[in-house]
Amino acid sequence: MSRTDITCVILLLVGTVVIQAQPQARVFGVDDTMDVIDHRRFDSLWRTSMQRGLLNVDAAAGEVMATYLQALATASPDAFLPAARAAFWTNAHMAAVMTVMHRRPAMRSTIVDSSLFDRDTFVVAEARHTVRSLAAAVIASHGSVTACVLLGNGSSHAPPLLRGATFATTFERTLREQARRVFRSERFVLFDPGADALQVSSFFAPYLTLMEWERGSVVQFLLPWLDELTAAECALRRATLRVVVSDRIERWRRRR
């Protein structure tokens, strides 16, 4: 790569950061409890489909889901307040995951299956998305990588699927509860004092750099979410504590 090419890349990255750092315009005339679209029927469908932590995807072929996907396609989330936007993108991600699971019955207990989330596309807010790009939209709409805990996709390596849809009035509470549930579970974050290491699920591998950018280090990012004893031990070792990506055998939470 020539010096000119390198300079162009640096300018592009700096420009992107500057654009993202600009404060969002205030939205006038919108109540802070108002959702972008009505999520209630989708919430009922999702809760009915969740059975002991497994997702029954049969309802993805029904009228409720079809109507909801149409509403997602024509929505204008930018006209609403941050909590409503974050709830909107989170629910869009959930609906897309459920639809992909229904369309792709070949999903089995292999990591390769996650590639299916890049194949199917959905129109959301008048733009075409995949499950992966919707996941990025969830984090961008919230403004913190903490929102990655909302991105359950059926894999046992990923966070648990949410119990129901999110709303403008419940988004922050749902996020806090899910973050504690995930980061305090040894399936996702395990402190190993003997190895002086903090093991994290491979699901978080793409987000480790963002965690460092937000709080200076992955350990510092995780400290507020860990239980008091683990947080205290990690804080004392933060200078030497290694972050290791480690997983157990993957399974999928799709009811067959």
Check residue 90 and give its pLDDT. 98
Q: For residue 21, is it within any domain?
A: no
Q: Are residues 194 and 147 in the same domain?
A: no
* Domain carrying residue 170: 29-183
Reported pTM: 0.82
2 in a structural domain:
no
Residue 174 phi, psi (nearest 5): -60, -40
- Same domain assignment for residues 147 and 36: yes
**Same-domain status, 129 and 174:** yes
- Tell me, yes or no, whether 138 and 38 share the same domain: yes
pLDDT of residue 241: 93
Q: Are residues 173 and 201 in the same domain?
A: no
User: Is 53 inside a domain boundary?
Assistant: yes
In-domain check, residue 206: yes
Q: Which of 140, 158, 183 is the last residue of a domain?
A: 183
Please indicate, yes or no, if residue 151 is contained in any of the structural domains.
Answer: yes
Instruction: Let me know whether 155 and 103 are in one domain.
Output: yes
**Do 179 and 121 belong together in one domain?**
yes
Task: Please report where in the chains the tokens 């419940």 appear, as a residue.
Answer: 170
End position of a domain, from candidates 136, 153, 183: 183
Low-confidence ranges of the chain (pLDDT < 50): 3-4, 6-26, 108-112, 249-250, 256
User: Are 161 and 226 in a shared domain?
Assistant: no
* Residue 234 counted as domain residue: yes
Structural domain total, the chain: 2
Given 162, 183, 204, which residue is the final one in a domain? 183
Residue at 15 is within a domain: no
* Shared-domain flag, residues 53 and 119: yes
Residues 101 and 207 in one domain: no
Are residues 205 and 85 located together in one domain of the fold? no
> What pLDDT, on the 0 to 100 scale, is given for residue 85?
97
Residue 126 domain-assigned? yes
Q: Are residues 210 and 144 in the same domain?
A: no
